[in-house]
């Protein structure tokens, strides 16, 4: 299949690399042109690559930040052709998918998706298609989803060796992401900031390292993600604080039985993740 | 060296296994006698093992829960001999070390330590001396610490392939542990309990799994650890909530610049851990 990837950052470049290996023809654009040149040199992107391929490919994958995806489409929508499918890899969906749906011409279909994979480092040089192996893949259907989109995206997921595929709508997606991805990053950075002891680096077990690894964050991208999904995220922070306060209260009141029950039920709930 | 290990749970049994491999003579006791029989069968514990060795060994390692360590010593202190060294592997220190110091006869020294390693599973069958490789090892000196204790404990750490060794006092230890170990477990279980969406297991990336892995907790042991270190832990929970609230406020007020600055400084602070 002919695929055009917009933006060769960590995810875009890793897609390009993995999809090229799977036998697809890859075209791409990137704000810094030198990155595309590098991808051509590495034989990930076809050597006759240029923006005109936006009209010739079967699938367009938007790999920029949400607002830049919208800017890109606004600028280049005249190049889109009937029968083409657009998708994107953004971390928040609801507001962006509405804007994209309003932008694209009739006959072009759009189905968003979210690859649940990443890395602490960013940019083309960090690309590694192996980060997708067995990761979750969420397909987000909307008003402009076409009849073939689900099958095409499932093939992409399979080519990149993703694991479980879930199909949902944009609002449920954003709530899920607020919980599993954004809240966890909020917790990690808050935990790092609440470290006030000089000996901490010498006295740390795996727990603290595991809980704070994702604090090595791309601050520009995550600030945008937090603000774009603000309502859902604030709700999840409040839910979490409610739970934390309940456990704190059990500890304050020496309520041994309630603490044990709280820990035990958390253990049982968490075990589900190792079984699914 | 002759070593007596009291309690063949996860840590005690892993110590026995690793120290035997390093060439020491291991004796042991355990509430359920069959576990000791099994360790003898596996040639980890010497076959003529019995409680009388408590008088004959150079080093006694207490591997029980804090209050059971104290009960054990109360019951068996008449067997202790001058020149012997006692240590323990407990997760909280200040209150227990004071009680142990008051219990032991003159001429017996006591220096506590804390192996910063563990596993989600517990008990003899889970033993694995490799969990100590490169882990942090904290030596906690007190009023009954003898002149040879530090060297002996450093040898034990080296035999078990521990990484960095830190020397501190019981109070600083407890504050460190409240932060790096207990607070992280409090966060993990609270996070699991704040999951209210049925799709979560299908839409989870590495972040949520990493932050909640330790929620698969031994609820009896951790309830005891939380309550024994209650004051320090409550302070750390409050510190963490203060940070969380600050970031939440930045998000609520759309304060993009402050969020970015908060994330950036967390990243820089966290990077120290990969360099130390």
A118-169 pLDDT per residue, tens: 877 889 999 999 999 999 999 999 999 999 999 999 999 999 999 999 999 9
Last residue of a domain, one of B168, B193, B226: B168
Q: In chain A, which residues have their Cβ closer than 8 Å to the Cβ of B185?
A: 207
Nearest-neighbour CA in chain A from B171: distance (Å): 12
> How many CB pairs (< 8 A) connect A and B?
288
Angle at alpha carbon of residue A226, lines to A222 and A230, rounded to 5°: 175
Average per-residue pLDDT for chain B: 94
Q: What is the CATH number of the domain that holds B115?
A: 3.40.50.720
Cross-chain residue pair B203–A135, CB shorter than 8 Å: no
Nearest-neighbour CA in chain B from A55: distance (Å): 33
Cross-chain residue pair A201–B233, CB shorter than 8 Å: no
A148 and A219 both lie in a single domain: no
Q: What is the CATH number of the domain that holds B226?
A: 1.10.3660.10
A50 and A89 both lie in a single domain: yes
Is B15 a residue whose pLDDT tops 70?
A: yes
Q: In chain B, which residues have their Cβ closer than 8 Å to the Cβ of A259?
A: 219, 223, 226-227
Cross-chain residue pair A181–B205, CB shorter than 8 Å: yes
CB neighbours of B23 closer than 8 A, spacing ≥ 6? none
Cross-chain residue pair B203–A180, CB shorter than 8 Å: yes
B213 burial (CB, 10 Å; 0-12 / 13-18 / 19+) is middle
Q: Which domain does A74 fall in, by range?
A: 2-168
- Res A9: pLDDT: 95
B152 and B178 both lie in a single domain: no
pLDDT band at A78 (very low <50, low <70, confident <90, very high): very high
Q: In chain A, which residues have their Cβ closer than 8 Å to the Cβ of B267?
A: 189, 215-217, 219
Last residue of a domain, one of B124, B153, B168: B168
- Res B98: pLDDT: 93
Q: What is the mean pLDDT of residues B89-107?
A: 90
pLDDT band at A92 (very low <50, low <70, confident <90, very high): confident
Token match 């993009």: residue? B256
Round to whole Å and give the CA distance between B47 and A73.
76
Cβ atoms of A213 and A120 within 8 Å: the answer is yes
Residues 166-205 of B with CB under 8 A from A: 166, 168, 172-173, 175-177, 179-181, 183-197, 199-205
Full strand arrangement of the beta sheet holding B2-6: B25-29, B2-6, B59-62, B85-88, B109-110
Average per-residue pLDDT for chain A: 94
Residues 55-84 of B with CB under 8 A from A: none
Q: Does B95 touch chain A (CB under 8 A)?
A: no
Q: Which has the minimum average pLDDT: A57-61, A235-239, B89-93, B132-136?
A: B89-93
Is A84 a residue whose pLDDT tops 80?
A: yes
Nearest-neighbour CA in chain B from A190: distance (Å): 5
Is B80 a residue whose pLDDT tops 70?
A: yes
Last residue of a domain, one of A107, A135, A168: A168
Judged by DSSP in three states, A29 sits in strand
B63 and B118 both lie in a single domain: yes
- Res A94: pLDDT: 82
Q: Does B50 touch chain A (CB under 8 A)?
A: no
Q: What is the pLDDT of residues B49-69, one digit of tens each?
A: 999 999 999 999 999 988 899
Q: In chain B, which residues have their Cβ closer than 8 Å to the Cβ of A217?
A: 263, 266-267
Round to whole Å and give the CA distance between B35 and B59.
21
Cross-chain residue pair A176–B200, CB shorter than 8 Å: yes
Is A39 a residue whose pLDDT tops 90?
A: yes
Nearest-neighbour CA in chain B from A1: distance (Å): 27
- Res B92: pLDDT: 72
A75 and A159 both lie in a single domain: yes
Is A91 a residue whose pLDDT tops 90?
A: no
The DSSP H or E segment spanning A151 is: helix A149-159
Round to whole Å and give the CA distance between B141 and B172.
11
How many structural domains are present in chain B?
A: 2
Round to whole Å and give the CA distance between B192 and A266.
6
B34 and B152 both lie in a single domain: yes
Query: Mutating which of B128, B133, B136, B180 best tests the A interface, going by the most A Cβ atoms within 10 A?
Result: B180
A142 and A193 both lie in a single domain: no
Q: What is the pLDDT of residues B153-180, one digit of tens each?
A: 999 999 999 999 999 999 899 999 999 9
Do the bridges between strand B112-115 and strand B137-141 make them parallel or antiparallel, or are there none, so unpaired?
antiparallel
Q: Does A121 touch chain B (CB under 8 A)?
A: no
Query: Mutating which of B119, B189, B197 best tests the A interface, going by the most A Cβ atoms within 10 A?
Result: B189
A135 and A56 both lie in a single domain: yes
Round to whole Å and give the CA distance between A170 and A49.
32
pLDDT band at B276 (very low <50, low <70, confident <90, very high): low
pLDDT band at B214 (very low <50, low <70, confident <90, very high): very high
Full strand arrangement of the beta sheet holding A85-88: A25-29, A2-6, A59-62, A85-88, A109-110
Nearest-neighbour CA in chain B from A222: distance (Å): 8
A156 and A264 both lie in a single domain: no
A156 and A228 both lie in a single domain: no
Q: What is the mean pLDDT of residues B229-250?
A: 97
Nearest-neighbour CA in chain A from B29: distance (Å): 27
B135 and B217 both lie in a single domain: no
B158 and B185 both lie in a single domain: no
Q: What is the mean pLDDT of residues A173-192?
A: 95
């Amino acid at each position: 299949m002919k695929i055009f990837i917009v933006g060769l950052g960590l995810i875009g470049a890793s897609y390009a690399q993995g999809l090229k290996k799977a036998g697809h023809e890859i075209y791409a654009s990137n704000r810094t042109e030198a990155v595309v040149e590098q991808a051509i040199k590495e034989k990930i992107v076809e050597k006759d690559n240029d923006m005109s391929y936006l009209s010739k490919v079967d699938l367009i994958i938007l790999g920029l930040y949400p607002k830049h995806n919208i800017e890109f489409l606004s600028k280049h929508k005249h190049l889109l052709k009937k029968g083409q499918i657009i998708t994107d890899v953004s971390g928040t969906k609801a507001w962006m998918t509405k804007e994209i749906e309003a932008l694209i011409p009739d006959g072009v279909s759009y189905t968003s998706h979210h690859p649940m994979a990443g890395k602490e480092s960013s940019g083309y040089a960090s690309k590694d298609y192996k980060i997708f192996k067995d990761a979750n893949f969420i397909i987000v259907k909307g008003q402009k989803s076409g009849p073939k989109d689900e099958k095409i995206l499932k093939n992409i997921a399979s080519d990149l060796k993703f694991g479980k595929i879930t199909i949902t709508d944009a609002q449920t997606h954003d709530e899920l992401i607020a919980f599993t991805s954004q809240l966890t990053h909020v917790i990690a950075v808050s935990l790092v900031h609440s470290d006030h002891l000089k000996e901490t680096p010498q006295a740390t077990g795996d727990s603290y390292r595991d809980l704070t690894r994702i604090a090595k964050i791309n601050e520009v991208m995550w600030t945008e993600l937090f603000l774009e999904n603000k309502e859902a995220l604030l709700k999840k922070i409040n839910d979490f604080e409610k739970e934390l306060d309940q456990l704190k209260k059990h500890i304050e009141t020496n309520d041994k039985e309630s603490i044990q029950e709280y820990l035990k039920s958390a253990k049982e709930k968490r075990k589900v993740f190792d079984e699914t």
